Amino acid sequence: MHTSMQAKYWSVLNAPEEIISKQKHKVPGFCFIHDSVITENYCIFFQKPVNFNPMSFTLGIASAGQCIKFKKNQPTKIIVIPRTPETQPQGIKVLETKAGFISHHVNAFEIGNEIVIDSICYES
């Protein structure tokens, strides 16, 4: 089985919209990251356990959404990326949780040393 690496880039801007930081993180496998959340100290991305085969879409047989196949036996990965100089020494953390499909998040914030994310997670 072929596993690809997709690089994800992001920049941090200050109030006058000047780039003050650039980061790059490689994510193994197919990376369907549709939404993310940002707290004071972290950027958080959810990598869903899905495959995408666009052939049916290319041929006009199916919609793009119908070409996404959920892999319920694989974990959802939560990529936590420090965004401030104080948290950057901790490095990027990749956490795994029960398989779920999250399209959009509602809110995210920190309480002490915990990150709280409000999202709707579908089982399939």
pLDDT tens per residue across span 66-124: 988 889 999 999 999 888 767 777 788 999 999 988 888 999 999 999 999 999 888 87
Distances (CA, A) of 89 to 17, 30, 81, 83, 112: 25, 28, 11, 10, 18
86: Cβ–Cβ under 8 A, 6 or more apart, which residues? 41
Kindly tell me if the per-residue pLDDT of 25 is higher than 80.
no
Position 5 scores a pLDDT of 53
Lowest pLDDT segment from 5-19, 21-35, 53-67: 5-19
Position 60 scores a pLDDT of 94
In degrees, to the nearest 5, what angle opens at C-alpha 66 toward C-alphas 124 and 58? 150
In degrees, to the nearest 5, what angle opens at C-alpha 56 toward C-alphas 50 and 58? 105
- The mean pLDDT of the chain is 83
In degrees, to the nearest 5, what angle opens at C-alpha 76 toward C-alphas 70 and 77? 140
In angstroms, rounded to a whole number, what is the distance separating the alpha carbons of residues 108 and 40?
9
Mean pLDDT over 14-32 rounds to 77
Position 2 scores a pLDDT of 38
Kindly tell me if the per-residue pLDDT of 29 is higher than 60.
yes
Specify the pairing of strand 50-52 against strand 68-70: antiparallel
Position 3 scores a pLDDT of 44
